[in-house]
Amino acid sequence: MKVQVKYFANIKDLMGKDTEDIKDMNSITVGELWLNLTKDMDIQIKVLYAVNQVYVSKDYKLNDGDEIAFFPPVTGG
Amino acid sequence: MKNEKKNNISLSDEDLLRYNKHILLDEIGIDGIELLNTKHIAIIGLGGIGCPLAQYLSTSGIGTITLIDSDIIEETNLQRQVLYTGLDIGKYKVDIASTKIKKMNPKLNVFTSKLRFCKDTSKIIRNVDMVIDATDNFSTRTAINAATIKYKKPLIMGAAIEMQGQISVFRNDHKDMPCYNCLYSDIEDQATSCMNQGVLSSLTGAVGSILATEAIKVLLSMSETLESKLLLIDFKNMIFRNIKIVKDKKCCVCNEL
């Protein structure tokens, strides 16, 4: 299956790109996808997930054609 | 709000002039100003977001504002906390902020609290119509969320760090709606607050301004608000994005209270 990934705010800086298509992937959760994408990187930040513009937990099972957004939590003020 | 003809207008001539540009808006009008005059809002956090928020709400026609913040003003605040000057360093934020917004609108009723907002002090919000969270840490935000669920108050939340911001409206006055903890359940403050990170001053101004806008819209029952949505703001790339928030049926806060 194929999904489109979008990186938002400082996640974009960490990944060095704002979007990418992931092809030929198995059915996995959005949390597993994040771990796969960052497995060779030293990234230790909290990330949040949205699929098709809806906030989801890391256990959300991805489907073919999904649009995934990774974004950071923000609590400052 | 539609501006319908009324026989009894409670606004004075001075008020009609002061709020003229809001009265001319179809979405507000005289009825809207009269309604806002009856409303009481609590602003928790008088920092980079809370300062512009308090300014805009104090001049908008809101009747009463309660300012809650236990901090004193420090030099590092002055880059973005626009109600304060160097002469205010060492003084309580709520004291200076209340004086400034009272000067801007003498008819505004202002109450202040220097107590840190937590479960034990949360009853201060029980008689307000709305709570706005402009604080800077996760633990206070969770306490505010729990209190607004307990007292059934709408909660408007804004946050900013570096060049990114987030804003949402949680209808904690309604049943079966997502709350702040449905979104954020296990965040660590170190990575997400501005204690040791930079923040763009104009970003905090923009977040405060959007919070004031959402507050007025919710109080006047306008249709398109950020209710159960999270607005993501990326000032570095100037990108705005909305994400829908759904209720977490396992949320230990809104399902328990």
Cα B166–B172–B176 angle (5° rounding)? 110
Q: Check if B205 contacts A (Cβ < 8 Å).
A: no
The reply to whether CATH 3.30.43.10 applies to domain B13-244 is: no
- % of residues, chain B, pLDDT over 90: 88
Give the ipTM: 0.92
Domains detected in chain A? 3-71 (3.10.20.30)
Lookup result for tokens 């360093």: B89
- Per residue in B179-214, pLDDT tens? 999 999 876 655 554 557 899 999 999 999 999 999
pLDDT at residue B196, rounded to an integer: 72
Contacts of A9 in chain B (CB under 8 A): 163-164, 232, 234, 236
Q: Beta strands of chain A (E only): which ranges?
A: 3-7, 19-22, 48-51, 54-56, 67-71
- Dist. CA B29–CA B9, nearest whole Å: 12
Contacts of A18 in chain B (CB under 8 A): 237
- Dist. CA B257–CA B255, nearest whole Å: 6
Contacts of B160 in chain A (CB under 8 A): 74, 76-77
Q: Is the pLDDT of residue B3 over 50?
A: no
Mapping DSSP onto H, E and C, the string for B101-161 reads: HHHHCCCCEEEEECCCCCHHHHHHHCCCCEEEECCCCHHHHHHHHHHHHHCCCCEEEEEEE
Q: Check if B52 contacts A (Cβ < 8 Å).
A: no
Q: Check if A67 contacts B (Cβ < 8 Å).
A: no
Residues in chain B: 257
CB B1 within 8 A of CB B28: yes
- Per residue in A6-43, pLDDT tens? 999 989 999 999 999 999 888 899 999 999 999 988 87
Average pLDDT over residues B85-109: 98
Q: Check if B252 contacts A (Cβ < 8 Å).
A: no
B244–A55 CB contact, under 8 Å = yes
Residue of B nearest to A74 (CA): B192
CB B159 within 8 A of CB B137: no
Q: Domain spans of chain B?
A: 13-244
Q: Is the pLDDT of residue B158 over 70?
A: yes
Residue B162 — pLDDT band, cuts 50, 70, 90?
A: very high
Of A46, A55, A75, the CB nearest to B230: A55
Q: Check if A73 contacts B (Cβ < 8 Å).
A: yes
Contacts of B184 in chain A (CB under 8 A): 73, 75
Classify each residue of B49-86 as buried b or exposed e, where b means 16 or more C-beta atoms within 10 Å of its C-beta.
bbbbbbbbbbbbbbbbbbbbbbbbbeeebeebbbbbee
A24 or B31, which is more confident: B31
